[in-house]
Each structure stands twice: as C-alpha cells, then as structure tokens.
Structure 1
C-alpha cells in the first residue's frame, strides 16, 4: 500500500465526511443556499495567505529543482486564477468589504494555525502531509461532479473545475508522490508525526465543511 493510501485510510470517517459532504453535493447541484456559499468563500479566502506560505516553504525544502517545479507552477495557479475566482465571486454575490473579511470561524483559525505550524517546522514531510490533505480532499469531491452542470453559475461551476481535471489531478499526484518518496526514510517517530499531522488536517477539513453547511 502506498504511504498516502495508508494515511487516507487512517483518517477514516473524517476523510469520508470531508469528501462526500452535503455542502459539496448541493454546490454541484446548484441548490446550495447563496448565504452558505458567501460564508464559505469569505472563510476559505482567509486560507490563501497561509497556504501560499506553506507551499512556498515546501518549494524551498524540496530535495531537488525537479521536485520543486510542479509546486512552483501550482503556486502560480493559486495566486493567479484561483485568487481571481474569489474576487469575481465576491463581486457577483454582492459581498462588500465587510462581508469578505468576517471574523475567522474556529475551523478557519485551526487550519490556518496548522498550515503555519507545518510551514515553520522546516520539515518537508510535515508540509506535505497538510498539502496532500488540502488538495486531495478537493480532488476527491470535485472529480465525480466534473464537468459541472451547464446551468451552474460560475461561482459554483469554476470551483469544481479548479479542483478537477487533468491539471489538478497532476498536482495531487505530484504531492502524493513526494510524500510517498520521503516516507521510507523517515524514522518511526517521524512517521507518527506525519500521521498525526495528516489526521489533524483531515479532521479540520471535515469541521470546516460542517461549519459552512451550518452557517
């Protein structure tokens, strides 16, 4: 079994809940209430800064230039098309500056703290553990509903297409392969730390979806 499959299996119910959440189902159907989407986007946008720092830290700690290039290319997507998607969605959904910058919800604070912890650890494997969860969860829910329904507004449809398809599949395959590659050389203690980081990230992903759906 691949190490990343082992980690996913360890996450158990949290992983299943995060990748089959009713929030995602209703988003794909176009039935998600817009107030829930507004809450979600405003909270999710608060992740971007720490995610960029985490991904940049992983790039800096990659073993070789070849190992860093796919992450650098993905960083350009996050700071380019994905960032623009948020700004366009805020405008389309009538969200003023106050609506775009609400107080952070508890899962938002938790995941931002986890990303900051991983980025500052100086340990590539811990950075990868969080990155793999963050992106693999999204690929897992978005792939079954891609391509999106033709009548979906862009703030639903593009959130699916940003997280599915060949390009994003390549991102997740790259991140998983990096973690799979470093796993055999880790000590038992280090593997346990990676497992703990992965499980914390998966639980926070589930809690974030739950909070968005309850908003």
Structure 2
C-alpha cells in the first residue's frame, strides 16, 4: 500500500469523527445555523490563504520540475476555491478583509506555515494532504446521502464532491507518495493535521447544541 493510502487508512478514526461532527451533519441535512456557516466561511478564507502560501513554499522548495508543475496546479486550485468563498461572502455581506482568526484557525495555519517554511517537501505534503483528502471524503459522503436543492449548503457539497476536487486531492497524494517517506515525522504531521481539521469544525460549531458534540 502506498504511503498516502496507508496514512489515510490509519487516520480513518478522525475522518469519521469529522463526518459525524454536528457541524458537518448540519451541512449535509441543511440544519446548520446560518450564523455558524458564516463564521466558518470567514475562518476558512483565512485558512485557505495560508494554505495557498504553503503550496507556494512547497513549489519554491520542490527538487524537480514535476513538483513545480504539480504544486502550481494545486495552488491554482486553492485560488479558485478562494474565489468561490469571496462570491459567497459578497452575497451574504461577510467582510473577509476584517476576519480575526480564532484559536483553532491560528493553530492550524501556524502549523502549516511552520512546516512549509522549515521542513522538507515530503513533510509539507503530509501536513497538507489531510485537508484535501478529508474534504473530498466529506463532500462525496454527503453527496451520497442526496442533499436536496432546498439545502442551503448544497453548493458546498457539490464543490467538494466534484470530480475536479477529487483530482486535486489525488494529485497531492501522488506528491506525498513521491516525496514522502514512512517516518515518525511524516506520520505525526499527517495525524496532527487531521486533528486540527476536527478542531476547526468544533470551533465553527460554537453555540450549536449547547456547545457539545
């Protein structure tokens, strides 16, 4: 089994925790309070900007031409995702330029940028892959349950269940397999990113069900 697949399977518990989280369930069935989604979109925009910078650092440190092309492609994908966030924000009156990152967002972005700035390309891939693979997993899982068009978050589900997003996730996994090695540092980076993903959803769900999962 390739490294990316091995790491994903070994962290299935956290992927399942994300899928079963009340925030994600609310996206799937349309019951998520709008206030929580607005907060999430603002924080996710801040996060994605850091994610784009991490891709740029990985591109700059890529040891070969293949990596340059691949990281450029992935960076372009994040920039398109940011455009979608901007369009939603404009329609909902969310001021993205004034976003103050919360603790969960800062913990994640600080981890990503420190890894991208100080570690090798393989470890950078290990820190970034969980976000892409998890969102593809969540989107496809929620799409499988058939959210109706009356679901206000149907566009979110479509975005992350789209074959184009799956292709980007697979591309990053290919880079992890290409540049990564099965080391404690790689495993730790992957696991930490997965935990931070669950923490991100938990933070975005403040005020739902009394603040408990």
Counting only pairs closer than 5 Å after superposition, residues 155-174 of structure 1 correspond to structure 2 as 156-174=153-171
Q: TM-score, length-normalised on structure 2?
A: 0.85
Q: 1:204 aligns with which of 196, 201, 207?
A: 196
Please give the per-residue CA displacement for 1:107-153, whole angstroms capped at 9, x wherever unaligned: 10100101111110241011101111110110010012237532234
Cα distance in 2, alignment partners of residues 24 and 63 from structure 1: 37
What's 2:58 paired with?
Answer: 58
TM normalised by structure 1 equals 0.85
Matches of 2:201 and 2:114, distance apart in 1: 22
Give me the whole-angstrom Cα distance separating, in 2, the residues matched to 1:72 and 1:102: 26
Is the CA contact 1:148–1:161 (under 8 Å) kept in the aligned structure 2? no
Query: Residue in 2 aligned with 1:194?
Result: 186
Identify unmatched segments of 5+ residues in structure 1: none
Which of 171, 176, 179 is equivalent to 1:179?
A: 176
Of 97, 101, 125 in structure 1, the residue corresponding to residue 98 of structure 2 is: 101
Q: Is the 8 A contact 1:139 1:163 kept in 2?
A: yes
The Cα of 1:102 is off from its aligned counterpart by 4.1
Alpha-carbon distance change, 21 to 49 in structure 1, aligned in 2, over 3 angstroms = same
RMSD over aligned Cα, in angstroms? 2.2
Whether the aligned pair in 2 keeps the contact of 1:11 and 1:202 (CA below 8 Å) is: yes
Q: Please tell me whether the aligned partners of residues 20 and 141 of structure 1 are also in contact (alpha carbons under 8 angstroms).
A: no
Structure 1: distance between partners of 2:37 and 2:31:
11
Q: Structure 1 residues 99-108 or 126-135, which shifts more?
A: 99-108
- How many correspondences in the alignment? 205
Q: Which residue of 2 aligns with 1:17?
A: 17
Distance 2:71 2:51 in 1: 12
Distance in 1 between the 2:75 and 2:56 partners? Answer: 8
